[in-house]
Amino acid sequence: MADNKNNPGQVEDTGHEWDGIRELNNPCPRWWLNSLYLSGLLVIVYFVLYPSLPLVNESTKGLLGWTMINEYKEDLAKVEAKRAPFEDKLASMTVEQILADQEMLNYAIGSSKVLYGDNCAACHGTGGAPAAGAGYPNLTDDDWLFGGKPQEIMVSIAAGRQGMMTAHKDILKPEEVDQLVQFVVDSSNGVATEAGKALYMAKGCFACHGADAKGVKAMGSANLTDKIWRFSGEPEQIRHTILHGVNHVSDPLTRVAVMPAWNEKLAIMLEARANAIADGEDPNEIDWDDELDGTESERLTETEIKKLTVYVHQFGGGQ
Ligand code: HEC
Ligand code: HEC
């Protein structure tokens, strides 16, 4: 390093010079040096307080004992504490009460999104509208196979659903199948003929779809007089349904329509309560030991099913 004695009062010179440009040796600014020392200090403080040095199986723990998982657990506990009063209240409310209480309704809907996404969206689509042709019912329309009242939706979710239509390939003549396909197409357009209707009655379709062909909720039989199709309105697809039925086990070409059960225990309890009320008995008197044997599945809790009932109900098609 060259001396700068020759130029006192001037900045020190490193002695390097390129094409007449001299490299000076200015001291670093004070503020810059201070921040450097400060950050060095912070490193030491951090090093002492927090986990820092990786060892064989874990790292040094630090004086504060902080860990990311603990922080996560604390955050979670805070969220749970906020939710607890709502969850407790929900547990004691009926679906109808939840629907009538704006605050609880908002909470139920908000906390159902993940529940629905995890358990239902794979079949019914994110917003309740499945991909066309996927073979799952749309939950956002006004057309319910098994009913859109809160209690009916709740039973659908708790018990699962499996509509059953017999295959007709062995009992109908080809021309009868043609005529019935035409009847279904005509019905959906509101122009069914007397002859078509007569065949529909004679072949026993009415036993499940009703004399008016509008479907029977207790059986989940589709309404044949509207333009909303459970499967498809294409004549070839209608023919397929008539020939092979739905969930007709012995026909390998049958349509498969299975809604899994999410809480068999709750399903049995709902049914027993409904029966007791229908028979004029007190549902609180039911002896559950007689009804339940302890092997019933509970994939979702009763509260979760209430939330989902509310969620599905507000998709727009609720009744
Ligand atoms: C044992 C009861 C039963 C009988 C008998 C029956 N169906 Fe069905 N049918 C159903 C059920 C239940 C569904 C809906 C299945 C589902 O979604 O799970 C259905 C669905 C259909 C569909 C599909 C509608 C759509 O929206 O895609 C057509 C078409 C149909 N039935 C026509 C007929 C005709 C025609 C007859 C008479 C030959 C008949 N069904 C007899 C129970 C029956
Ligand atoms: C494996 C696919 C599948 C999953 C998962 C599923 N569903 Fe379904 N769901 C169905 C099928 C198929 C039907 C129609 C059954 C039939 O046609 O007989 C149905 C019917 C329903 C119905 C009755 C619709 C009506 O028109 O009456 C409701 C309500 C319903 N599902 C809600 C749910 C909810 C809520 C979840 C999540 C907890 C869920 N489903 C998960 C396949 C599924």
Q: How far is the CA of 113 from the centre of ligand 1 (A)?
A: 32
| pLDDT for position 155 | 97
Q: Whose CA is nearest to atom 11 of ligand 1?
A: 221
The candidate with the shortest Cα–Cα distance to 271, out of 259, 261, 258, is: 261
Q: Which atom of ligand 1 is nearest to the CA of 233?
A: 27
In this chain, the answer to whether the domains covering 75-161+261-313 and 174-244 adopt an identical fold is yes
Q: Is the CB of 165 under 6 A from ligand 1?
A: yes
How many whole angstroms from 210 Cα to the centroid of ligand 2?
A: 22
| pLDDT tens readout for residues 75-95 | 999 999 999 999 999 999 999
Q: What separation in Å is there between the alpha carbon of 137 and the centre of ligand 2?
A: 7
Note the pTM of the prediction, 2 decimals. 0.83
Atom of ligand 1 nearest to the CA of 257: 18
If you measure from the C-alpha of residue 245 to the centroid of ligand 1, how many angstroms do you get, rounded to a whole number? 7
CA of 80 to the centre of ligand 2 (A): 29
Determine what percent of the chain falls in helix, strand and coil, rounding each to the nearest 5: 50, 5, 45
Over the stretch 135-178, which tens digit does the pLDDT of each residue have?
899 999 888 999 999 999 999 999 999 999 999 999 999 999 99
230 Cβ below 6 A of ligand 1: yes
- Whole-number mean pLDDT of the chain? 93
Residue ID of nearest Cα to ligand 1 atom 14: 221
pLDDT of residue 1: 46
Q: Which CATH class is domain 75-161+261-313?
A: mainly alpha
* CA nearest neighbour of 113 among 316, 308, 313, 309: 308
Residues 38-58 as b or e (16 or more Cβ within 10 Å = b): eeeeeeeeeeeebbeeeeeee
User: Is the model more confident about 133 or about 150?
Assistant: 150
Distance in Å, CA 251 to ligand 2 centroid: 22
3-state SS class at 232:
coil
208 lines ligand 1 (CB under 6 A): yes
Ordered by start, the domain boundaries in the chain are: 1-66, 75-161+261-313, 174-244
Nearest CA to ligand 2 atom 6: 120
CATH topology of domain 174-244: Cytochrome Bc1 Complex; Chain D, domain 2 (1.10.760)
- The response to whether residue 151 sits with its C-beta less than 6 Å from ligand 2 reads no
